[in-house]
Amino acid sequence: MMLDMFSLKGRTAIVTGGSRGIGKMIARGFLEAGAARVYITSRKPSQCDETAAELGPNCISLPQDLSTLEGIKSFVDRYLEHEDKLDILVNNAGAAWGAAFDEFPESGWDKVLNLNLKSPFFLTQALHGALKKAGTHERPAKVINIASIDGIRLNPQETYSYHASKAGLIYLTRRMAATLIADHIAVTAIAPGAFASEMNRVARDQGEEVAKRIPSRRIGKDEDMACAAIYLASAAGDYVVGDTIAVDGGVALAMAGGL
């Protein structure tokens, strides 16, 4: 009975940036948890199609650049050609930019904030009706924002816009949650630590060295991310509203002096 609480049987999900990295981990986990259909996005159509083919017939590729309002509208219109409601939205698509303080360009702010902060808000806004249609008092629809522990603590790298975007997303999660729970939509966030991915090449290429700086003494595994997302997306996480879960092996807590 308790294990059934973690099932996603019959649920429909969107995972933005789902063709690789953390998004792919989550998409695969949702399918293994029984999701009926998982729609994934990517700015690169071939990569999106390849991942959907790899994950199976219940994974549907809808490639789209979600960094603009026009792109968001196009994606939502295409999604609504397939479905009339949405149980789970994972706002995962993201970008990073690093440069020295005196050289950091405006384009490094625009690119990162457009995708990391504005896109989760406006995509959720555009899908509000579909989420509202799916949610009930007993079984709310879910929005899961993928933040970062860089929104909780400082990273020594000079990724100014990335830090700001992820800190903003954590607070935006709380603000959206306070509004949308009235429509039976529970908004939460995950703040990943070191996971091997194209965006976190240091963890990917120097995992053993990175692990030495993590209290758990390892980098994150695919199932660590998938299981956290399944918890929040499933009935097991229905009573969690507005919170951000750090999935980082204890890094953020250690930086705060808790470990």
Long-range contacts of 38-46 (CB under 8 A, 24+ apart): 38/12, 38/13, 38/14, 39/12, 39/13, 39/14, 39/15, 39/79, 39/82, 40/14, 40/15, 40/16, 41/14, 41/15, 41/16, 41/17, 41/66, 41/75, 41/93, 42/17, 42/18, 44/19
* First-to-last C-alpha distance (Å) of the chain: 35
* Whether residue 239 lies in the annotated active site: no
Among the listed residues 39, 79, 160, 162, the single catalytic one is 162
Residue 37 and residue 27: Cα distance in Å, rounded? 10
Residue 42 and residue 22: Cα distance in Å, rounded? 13
What positions carry a catalytic annotation? 162
